[in-house]
Structure 1
Amino acid sequence: MISKGAAVRCAVGVVGGLMLASVGSLAFAADPGDSSGVDVKVDIAAVEHGALSLTVENTETTLTETGTTAEYRQFTGTLPTVTVTDTRTDVPEGVYWYVVGQAGDFVGTAGQPVIPATQLGWTPADVFDGAGEVGGGGEVVPASDTPTLPGNNTGLASGEDLLFLSLDSAAAQAAQGSWSTTAALKLKTPANVAPGSYHSLLTLSLFEDTY
């Protein structure tokens, strides 16, 4: 068994040995010109400031015949739910956004004559926004319909508002939130329209602008 005194002497000897080794290393000079580098790395995460985005619930919808008369044929359906989400934390005053829908002509899969996009109309649903900043677009009826508002029988050939941030006052600002809407679709054709399958691409685009 090692006595307490011996244990102390061993510990002192180890410390002394370390000190001597350290001192000894100082006696050796490095070769002139020797160098070494350390590759220092760091990963810096992006700071999230949010985004303004547009999503559409589905990529297709089907119109079915309803309301046809002896003078014309009519087909109706529903636009899939369209949602605008604004999660930005810093939006300058006076910046606003809006969603526009524009349809292409209905093209027949068997080479039928096209049905002009002017014959497709919509009635956007009401948007219930507690702050009153976001509203839905107005009704647009097919070109062959009687206008329900001055000049609104243009169809969707040239692009019409579906959803927009209202700027009723100079203080209106793009507040954070999420807003959704849909629209009732209506297509009118002549009574003698060629039978068969048709399709049209209705493009929904989100824009941002300043006033």
Structure 2
Amino acid sequence: MMKKSMVARCAAGVVGGLLLTGVGVAAFADPTENGTGDVDVSVEIAPTDDGSLSLTVAGTTSTLTENGTTASYRQFTGALPNVTVTDTREDVAPGVFWYVTGQASDFVGSAGQPNITPDHLGWTPRVVTANNGEVSEGDTVDTSIDGGANGVGLVGQELLALALDSAEAQAASGQWTANADLVLKTPVTVAPGSYTSTVTLSLFEDSY
């Protein structure tokens, strides 16, 4: 009789222990937040002196005036402001080169005239700073009025480029300036009025 009673008490103790353990787990599963604190982390990072590659344009406007019109087309000429590439880097990997392109938008009329598309605008680039052949100007780009294989207008044409002669050649630091003669040719039937286009000049870097 005594043994049976002891077994019963042991069983009850085990069950009670399990119940107590379960209550403890439930309490920690649902914590209570008793406050918060914020920490502002700041750092000042000094500029490096490794140099940079950059593009600047001397002006933001260019006006074309009528010049050289014929019985076949109307022609308007002007000039692109000076475009300067500056490379102050001392350590550029071999075969890395840069180039500048020009992309014209439609000429949009101020009075709702039909647009004049970019293929009607051409240019003749030229380097205007002395150099030892490390840079070169892009090719002359003709208009669609001129026709021919190069008569595509300013649709992403090259203005100026670093001229590396091999994948082993290394870019030189320096500053170079180029500009371009602009020419717009339109049909003689073009609607009169004021037109505006934007030529976007972009500096890219690539490698062999």
Does TM, normalized by the shorter one, top 0.5? yes
**Match runs of 1:104-183 below 5 Å:** 104-126=105-127, 129-147=130-148, 151-156=149-154, 158-183=155-180
Equivalent AA in structure 2 for residue 113 of structure 1: P
In structure 2, the partner of 1:80 is: 81
Q: Distance in 1 between matches of 2:50 and 2:74?
A: 50
Q: Using structure 1 for the length normalisation, give the TM-score.
A: 0.75
Q: Distance in 2 between matches of 1:84 and 1:43?
A: 30
Q: Deviations over 1:108-143 (max 9, x none)?
A: 010000111100000001455533111000000111
Q: Distance in 2 between matches of 1:160 and 1:146?
A: 16
Equivalent AA in structure 1 for residue 179 of structure 2: T
In structure 1, the partner of 2:93 is: 92
Q: Using structure 2 for the length normalisation, give the TM-score.
A: 0.76
Task: Give the gaps of 5 or more residues in structure 2.
Answer: 1-42
**Match runs of 1:16-95 below 5 Å:** 45-95=46-96
Q: Distance in 2 between matches of 1:196 and 1:204?
A: 26
Q: Distance in 2 between matches of 1:69 and 1:46?
A: 56
* Equivalent position to 1:196, from 183, 193, 198: 193
Give yes or no for contact 1:127–1:136 (8 Å, CA) kept in 2.
Answer: no
Equivalent AA in structure 2 for residue 202 of structure 1: V
Give yes or no for contact 1:121–1:185 (8 Å, CA) kept in 2.
Answer: yes
Percent identity, aligned pairs only, is 61
Other structure's SS at 2:68 match: coil
Other structure's SS at 2:75 match: strand
Give yes or no for contact 2:109–2:115 (8 Å, CA) kept in 1.
Answer: yes
**How many residues align structurally?**
167
Equivalent AA in structure 1 for residue 187 of structure 2: P
Equivalent AA in structure 1 for residue 48 of structure 2: V
Cα offset, 1:69, TM superposition: 1.3
Computed over aligned residues only, the root mean square deviation of the Cα atoms, in angstroms, reads: 1.8
Other structure's SS at 2:119 match: helix
